[in-house]
């Protein structure tokens, strides 16, 4: 999917993550800030990249401010931001590229 406009999802509350996607060129420019970076930085990055890959987002600037979110929340926030950037809220591919 293309990132058509900047979009954001999530909050800065504990156990949540705020994900911002912006149009980009030349691949994924991912920045991660996390309150649990030492223990979970590697896993956060892997989850975010996997999710973007599943959504076929190839070019984007992605910013994650993580407050100890579980993987399921990270995925949800990334997906929400990406679909918001495309203005899509209905007939989503649950169980397809969202999984």
Question: For binding to other proteins (CB under 8 A), which residues are involved?
Answer: 9-10, 13-16, 35-43, 45, 67-73, 75-77, 79-80, 83-84, 89-92, 94-95, 98-99
H or E segment and range at residue 80: helix 71-85
C-alpha neighbours within 13 Å on the C-beta side of residue 16: 9
Angle among Cα 1, 85, 57 to the nearest 5 degrees reads 25
Choice between 10 and 57, CB closer to other proteins: 10
Smallest gap from Cβ 88 to other proteins, in A, equals 9
Instruction: Look up residue 86 and give its DSSP letter.
Output: T
Choice between 52 and 69, CB closer to other proteins: 69
Smallest gap from Cβ 20 to other proteins, in A, equals 13
CA–chain centroid gap for 15, Å, is 15
Task: Answer yes or no: are the C-beta atoms of 69 and 77 closer than 8 Å.
Answer: yes
Choice between 60 and 78, CB closer to other proteins: 78
Smallest gap from Cβ 83 to other proteins, in A, equals 7
Smallest gap from Cβ 8 to other proteins, in A, equals 10
């Amino acid at each position: 999917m293309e990132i058509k406009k900047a979009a954001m999802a999530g909050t800065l509350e504990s156990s949540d993550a705020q994900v911002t996607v912006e149009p980009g060129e030349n691949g994924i420019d991912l920045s991660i800030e996390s309150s649990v970076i030492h223990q979970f930085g590697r896993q956060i990055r892997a989850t975010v990249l996997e999710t973007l890959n599943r959504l076929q987002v190839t070019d984007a600037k992605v910013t994650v401010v993580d407050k100890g979110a579980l993987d399921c929340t990270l995925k949800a926030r990334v997906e929400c931001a990406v679909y918001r950037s495309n203005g899509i809220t209905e007939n989503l591919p649950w169980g397809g590229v969202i999984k």
